[in-house]
Chain A
Amino acid sequence: MSWMSGFSIAELGHYALVLALALSLIQSTVPLWGASARDNRLMRVGTVSTLIGFLYVTFAFGALTVAYINSDFSVANVWENSHSAKPLLFKISGVWGNHEGSMMLWVLILSLFGALVAAFGGNLPVTLKARVLAVQGWVATAFLLFILTTSNPFLRLTPAPGEGRDLNPILQDVGLAIHPPLLYLGYVGFSIVFSFAAAALIEGRVDAAWARWVRPWTLMAWIFLTLGIAMGSYWAYYELGWGGWWFWDPVENASFMPWLAGTALLHSAIVMEKRGALKIWTILLAILTFSLSLLGTFLVRSGVLTSVHAFATDPTRGVFILAILVLFIGGSLALFAWRAPELKQGGLFAPISREGALLYNNLFLVAATATVFAGTLYPLVLEALTKDKISVGAPFYNITFAPLMVPLLLAVPFGPMLAWKRGDLAAAAQRLLFAMVLAVVALVATLIIEGVQHPLAPLGIGLGIWLIAGAANEIIDRSGIGRMPLKTSWARFTGMPRTAFATALAHAGLGVTVIGIVATTTYQTETIVSVKPGESLETGGYTLTYQDSVPHTENNYREELYRFVVSRDGEALLAIAPAKRFYSTRQMSTTEAAIKTFWFSQLYVSIGDQHDDGSLTVRAYYKPLVTFIWLGAVLMAIGGTVSLSDRRFRIGVAKPARAKRLQEAKA
């Protein structure tokens, strides 16, 4: 087909990306003008240009993906980061496994959220919607410019090299396929919350209605961020072969800080929505949350960090992102300083009240964010000033972050029990008696079973049970189960707003995670020994017998499988085979841990060096209840989803039918 000769989807993708920039410039100005002039047509330009801009970004992203799938090494980015021997899934995940591609993903998600507001924001006041889209347009403009000037993934090579340079084998994993998109959906998702805050400040109107409109967006971003962090943690756990699930690595912190601030925002927005209080604070949190996302992007993408995650380094990029950071954080805080004093304060409340409890939550979460912030940035500042390189790790966070969590977690079950405006702590405590008893029982049971070697651990387990039982207690108490006739309590149970279940699920999830963390950290057993074929080692009550090692060849790597038989009480249970892989193109090797799950606990076996005499260094762990850490996070995310599905948050819907049903049931 000669008329198709010279056609290039990559080039068209490049052009689509440039057009997206042109449209984002329109999106960031015209609706703003329209809102101030109350010109309906101009405001509509914002909606349409946002949607078409999103289509173009999507097209560009798709074009890049096609180049990866086809191993089109005439695209420099594909040549640098892909290889024709990679399985299809990793060719696709390779798109965002590198600097340029991950920035494309960033912008794709940014414009996706803009497009969601453009498409489904019909319930918003038109001027607010126009301004939100404009602010989102500013962010999109900045990042599209960043991509096109410093990180263009569409630059071409001619003639095309014969073979690609592969992807870092550590990153060649299903975890990488899922983890960054989730994480980005989370922390880029907070951009829309930021846009809402900036738009409200420009508009000069911040009120309960605003909080209600922002709520679903905050929730959505928070759910994805929760899952993204959990996923990333699990990925590091099984792929890096160290058996750790959280390293306080700056890149992890970069996503954890927006999560902490976002969690605070989620709670303060409730107060604002229900009682019109904490307005200024909520707006500030919205700004801070996205600012922390931007900071995270800067830390990861500028290369100021050097860790397993930091696979991008280039000073010009760093400076560009720093400029974006300063512009948006500085600009929004200036706008805040200018407009915030004009905002009227809302409803009053006593210290002991639902509002007070939520504020208490906010204070601790923000303080926790601050400790993580300090721990992350201090080494960088120190290095910049004195060239000393230090690393801040678990010991720092154990004495700063952990003590902040304890009073927060202790208070969590009280929050939903307190009445609005003025609550009764003693009454709440009385209603929580069931949870308290369970927590103490758990504490004592742990002490009896595990002994007093780790005096803090039973307290931690008790705390986790307190959270789970407290959440259940709230549901039981509200539905009146056990106090009222079954029929009435069933009606009350089904009549409860979904947000009540959401709260309970999320809080219980937190408890599950706490138990997982405490159990794994204190009760895990670790065995590091050298074994020869036929020899055994023991960990956590399981016996592992080293059989032999067999080589195995895959498309793009060779591996040596080390076979073990796992037995317990003399009975062989199963065979496992941790491995060492060698990727020929990059001349790199990775360790593949073997992980077996027994109920909620895991056996984790990782291979060290093989010695000349045929012996093998093996690291084997037994990690009790380790999966609770991630299951808890999944539970939190499910809670968020339940809350998101609460129809009351869809503005313009008639009085909830469920409330009517409830009244009928009473009558």
Chain B
Amino acid sequence: MLLWLAITIFTVIAVLAVVLPLLREGKPVDSRENHDAAVYRRQLDELERDREAGRIGPEEAEAARAEIGRRLIAADRREAARVAAAGGGFRRAATAAVALVGIPLIGLGLYLAQGSPGLPDEPLQARLGNAPDGKNISLLVGQVEDHLARNPDDTRGWEVLAPVYSRLGRPGDAARAYRNVIRLGGSTPARQTALGEALVMASGGIVTDEAREAFEASAESGAELDSDTAKARFYLALAMEQEGDSKGATTALHALLDDAPADAAWRPAIEETVARIERAEKDTAAALFAKPKKPALGPLRENAPSAQADAGPPPAATPTRGPSQEEMNAAGAMAPEDRMAMIEGMVDNLADRLEKKPDDADGWLQLVRSYAVLGRREDAAEAARTALASISDKEKRREIAQLAQDLRLPGMEEMTQ
């Protein structure tokens, strides 16, 4: 309500800015010629001073005086009484009418086309809610870090800090923290799974050997099947898929489903993944080069995290890559911002990896697509350019160029090779 009240007040002020000056006559128009004459008189004074100071010769001063004098006379002559043209009433009425109709029309029309009047501000403070006395979360993180630097054996501190690192998109730090937790507080399935997940995030979605060890520790702990051990088994299945063992992956996932209670919240996510792997299995090649159904080209809003899942990339980029976006979503019913941070972290890590090992065409394809989906179009274009420069396989280069063209990346529209 308040927003609309403010919008109304702003609009009224804008209209009044046009209408009020039309109502009052104000002081009469001073003629242009009076101004001119004042300037020329001043020029004459200055000329006199210049002549006294020797900055202009006497003859030249005389000539200049004549020049200025002529202009002065001309200005005086032009000083004819010029009054406003007739028809002032019409002009005022027309201007006022345009302002009365046009300003609200343009204002609301353009604003409603792009604005989101229903959305309140969401300052970080308000969203964090419980941040004490106005300190922001990073400051708090800093304090905990300081504390841990002095008391590196405080299990509780590391335990608090680890998930916060994950949420802040610092998976490497998160993994370090979880390792400390395990070292100091002992291994539990939940801790091992969390460590594994952080390592996966840190390596751009790849289930590394280290991560696999953590997941195995969790899955084989003998604990009852709960969301933590299930997640570990899920990632282990993904690891198999990444190594090209799609069969093994689906078998493992089916086994997981068999063990899972019928009402487990994470069942549908796993079923979806099984279906996806089986689909991908059938047509790996097609899936590899599939174009995104809906390249994220629209205005920024479409790239909002909520839209990520809908406008997501094609299912399963390559079988040897990290988990697809669906899996990432499935990986835990995460809050959208966590998901965002996680995806961001993965993509950035992939980029780092490619920087070190640039001759990886499939990696580049995935990176370009991921950037496009995230709306980082410049980065996508840059990645495509780097890829074209660093990949030796001609066929793969063509694919990358094609992808860049399809996504209409800036500066890449006319790529042919």
Question: Once the chains bind, are B107 and A15 in contact (CB under 8 Å)?
Answer: yes
Q: How far is the CA of A354 from the CA of B14 in the complex (A)?
A: 50
Contact residues in B for A23 (Cβ distance below 8 Å):
14, 17-18, 103
B114 and A163 form a contact (CB under 8 A): no
A15 engages B111 (CB within 8 Å): yes
A72 contacts B55, C-beta separation under 8 Å: no
A275 within 8 A of B: yes
Is there an interface contact between A71 and B352, defined as CB atoms closer than 8 Å?
no
CA distance A123 to B38 in the complex (A): 11
- Could you tell me the distance in whole angstroms from the C-beta of A662 to the nearest C-beta in chain B? 8
Whether B3 lies near A7 (C-beta < 8 A) is yes
Assuming the A-B contacts A8-B119, A14-B115, A659-B45, are A48 and B378 also in contact, with contact meaning beta carbons closer than 8 angstroms in the complex?
Answer: no
Residues of chain A at interface, number, CB under 8 A: 101
Cβ contacts B63-101/A at 8 Å (1 or 0 each): 110011001000000000011110110011001001100
**Assuming the A-B contacts A18-B110, A30-B95, A72-B122, are A155 and B3 also in contact, with contact meaning beta carbons closer than 8 angstroms in the complex?**
no
Query: 1/0 contact trace for B46-70 toward A, CB 8 Å?
Result: 1001100111110110011001100
How many angstroms between the C-alpha atoms of A156 and B111 in the bound complex? 13
Look across to chain A and name the residue whose beta carbon is closest to the beta carbon of B165: A584
**Which chain A residues lie closer than 8 Å to B132 at the CB level?**
none
Q: A40: which B residues are within 8 A, CB to CB?
A: 25-26, 28-29, 84
Q: How far is the CA of A4 from the CA of B30 in the complex (A)?
A: 49
A16 to B11, CA, bound (A): 9
For window 101-128 of B, CB contacts with A under 8 Å fall at 102-103, 106-107, 110-111, 114-125, 127
> B173 and A584: CB pair below 8 A?
yes
> Which residues 1-58 of A sit at the B interface, judged by CB distance below 8 A?
3-12, 14-16, 18-19, 21-23, 25-26, 30, 33-34, 37-42, 44-45, 47-49, 51-53, 56
Q: Which of B275-321 contact A (CB under 8 A)?
A: 299-301, 303-306
Which residues in B have their C-beta under 8 angstroms from that of A71?
123-125, 136
B396 interface residue (CB < 8 Å to A): no
Asked whether B7 is an interface residue with its Cβ less than 8 Å from the other chain, the reply is yes
Complex interface: chain A residues within 8 A of B344 (CB): 165
Q: How far is the CA of A348 from the CA of B67 in the complex (A)?
A: 9
CA distance in complex: A198, B167 (Å) = 55
Identify which of A124-132, A258-266, A393-401, A458-466 touches chain B.
A124-132
Flag the segment in B183-191, B237-245, B248-256, B330-338 that touches A: B330-338
In the assembled complex, which residues on chain A have CB atoms less than 8 Å from the CB atom of B340? 161-162
Interface residues of A in 392-450 (CB under 8 A from B): 419-422
User: Which positions 1-51 of chain B face chain A at CB distance < 8 Å?
Assistant: 1-3, 6-7, 10-11, 13-14, 17-18, 20-26, 28-32, 35-36, 38-40, 42-43, 45-46, 49-50
User: A127 contacts which of B14, B17, B32, B57 (Cβ < 8 Å)?
Assistant: B32
Q: Is B363 an interface residue (CB 8 A)?
A: no
**B-chain residues with CB within 8 Å of residue A482 when the two chains form the complex:** none
Partner of A70, one of B125, B138, B306: B125
Residues from chain A with Cβ under 8 Å of B260 in the complex: none
- How far is the CB of B352 from the nearest CB of chain A, in Å? 6
Q: Does B205 reach chain A (CB closer than 8 Å)?
A: no
With a CB–CB cut-off of 8 A, which chain B residues contact A156?
Answer: 116, 119, 301
| Contact assessment for A478 and B53 in the assembled complex, using a CB-CB cutoff below 8 Å | yes
Q: Taking CB as reference atom, which chain A residue is nearest B412?
A: A315
Report chain A residues within 8 Å CB of B91: 33-34, 37, 39, 42
Q: Are A21 and B410 in contact (CB under 8 A)?
A: no
Partner of B18, one of A26, A154, A274, A421: A26
Assuming A125-B32, A420-B60, is B25 touching A11 (CB within 8 A)? no
> Which one of A232-240, A373-381, A540-548, A648-656 contacts B?
A648-656
Taking CB atoms, residues of chain A closer than 8 Å to B14 are: 19, 22-23, 52, 56
Taking a contact as CB atoms under 8 Å apart, the answer to whether A347 and B53 are in contact is no
User: CA A161 – CA B169 in complex, angstroms?
Assistant: 11
Are the C-beta atoms of B107 and A585 separated by less than 8 Å? no
Determine if B142 is an interface residue (Cβ-Cβ < 8 Å): yes
Whether A208 sits at the interface, judged by CB under 8 Å, is yes
B137 sits at the interface (CB 8 A): yes
For chain A, residues 192 to 223, give those with C-beta under 8 angstroms from any C-beta of chain B: 205, 207-209, 212
CB of A369 within 8 Å of the partner chain: no
Q: Which of A524-546 contact B (CB under 8 A)?
A: none
Q: How many A-B residue pairs have CB under 8 A?
A: 297
Q: Does B413 contact A (CB under 8 A)?
A: yes
A21 neighbours in B (Cβ, 8 Å): 106, 110
Which residues from B are CB-within-8-Å of A52? 13-14, 17
Whether A419 and B56, one on each chain, are in contact in the complex, defined by CB atoms closer than 8 angstroms, is yes
By the criterion CB–CB under 8 Å, are B120 and A8 in contact? yes
Q: Are B21 and A44 in contact (CB under 8 A)?
A: yes
Q: Is the CB of B377 within 8 A of A11?
A: no
Q: Is there a chain B Cβ closer than 8 Å to A642's Cβ?
A: no
**Nearest CB of B to A204, in Å:** 11
B225: Cβ under 8 A from any A Cβ = no
Query: Taking the complex as formed, is B341 at the interface, i.e. its CB lies under 8 A from any CB of chain A?
Result: yes
Q: How far is the CB of A214 from chain B (nearest CB, A)?
A: 12
Interface string of A165-177 (1 = CB under 8 A from B): 1000000000000
Q: Contact partner of B121 among A7, A207, A662, CB < 8 A? A: A7
Q: Are A12 and B56 touching (Cβ within 8 A)?
A: no
Question: Does A388 sit at the interface, judged by CB under 8 A?
Answer: no
Q: Which of B28, B305, B306, B335 has the most CB of A within 10 A?
A: B305
Give Cα distance in the complex from A156 to B120, angstroms: 10
On chain A, the residues within 8 Å of B338 by CB distance are 162
B114 A148 Cβ-Cβ under 8 A: yes
The distance in angstroms between the C-alpha atoms of A555 and B168, with both chains bound, is: 13
Shortest beta-carbon distance from B22 to chain A in Å: 5
**When A161-B341, A315-B410 are in contact, do A276 and B111 touch as well, CB less than 8 Å?**
no
Q: Which residues of B contact A652 (CB under 8 A)?
A: 38
Instruction: Say yes or no: A85-B138 contact (C-beta < 8 A), given A38-B83, A157-B304.
Output: yes
Question: Among B39, B59, B64, B121, which residue has its beta carbon within 8 angstroms of that of A209?
Answer: B39
Q: Within the complex, what minimum Cβ distance (angstroms) separates B337 from chain A?
A: 3
Q: Is B87's CB under 8 angstroms from A37's CB?
A: yes
Q: Is A254 an interface residue (CB 8 A)?
A: no
Q: Are B29 and A18 in contact (CB under 8 A)?
A: no
* Contact call A651/B136, Cβ cutoff below 8 A: no
Whether A162 and B43, one on each chain, are in contact in the complex, defined by CB atoms closer than 8 angstroms, is no
B381 within 8 A of A: yes
Q: Are A22 and B120 in contact (CB under 8 A)?
A: no
**Contact A420 B56, beta carbon cutoff 8 Å:** yes
Do B60 and A70 touch across chains, with their CB atoms under 8 A apart? no
Min CB distance B327 to A, Å, is 20
Does A608 belong to the interface (CB within 8 Å)?
Answer: no
Q: A40-B26, A207-B71, A209-B39 are in contact. Are A420 and B138 (CB under 8 A)?
A: no
Compute how far the CA of A662 lies from the CA of B45 in the bound complex, rounded to whole angstroms. 13
Q: Decide if A126 touches B410 in the complex (CB within 8 Å).
A: no
Q: Are B111 and A18 in contact (CB under 8 A)?
A: yes
* Most chain B CB neighbours (cut-off 10 Å) among A162, A205, A354, A478: A162
Q: Which residues of A contact B (CB under 8 A)?
A: 3-12, 14-16, 18-19, 21-23, 25-26, 30, 33-34, 37-42, 44-45, 47-49, 51-53, 56, 67, 70-74, 76, 84-85, 123-128, 148, 152, 154-163, 165, 205, 207-209, 212, 274-276, 303, 312-315, 346-348, 354, 419-422, 478, 553, 555-556, 584-587, 648, 651-652, 655, 659, 662
Interface residues of B (CB under 8 A from A): 1-3, 6-7, 10-11, 13-14, 17-18, 20-26, 28-32, 35-36, 38-40, 42-43, 45-46, 49-50, 53-57, 59-60, 63-64, 67-68, 71, 82-85, 87-88, 91-92, 95, 98-99, 102-103, 106-107, 110-111, 114-125, 127, 136-139, 142, 145, 167-170, 173, 299-301, 303-306, 335-338, 340-341, 344, 348, 352, 377-378, 381, 410-411, 413
Beyond the given pairs A6-B1, A148-B110, A163-B169, 16 more chain A to chain B contacts, judged by CB atoms under 8 angstroms and listed by A's residue number, are A3-B2, A9-B121, A15-B7, A22-B106, A39-B85, A40-B25, A42-B22, A67-B121, A72-B122, A76-B303, A126-B29, A157-B304, A163-B168, A555-B139, A584-B170, A662-B49
6 A-B interface contacts by CB (under 8 A): A18-B110, A73-B122, A154-B115, A163-B168, A655-B42, A662-B49
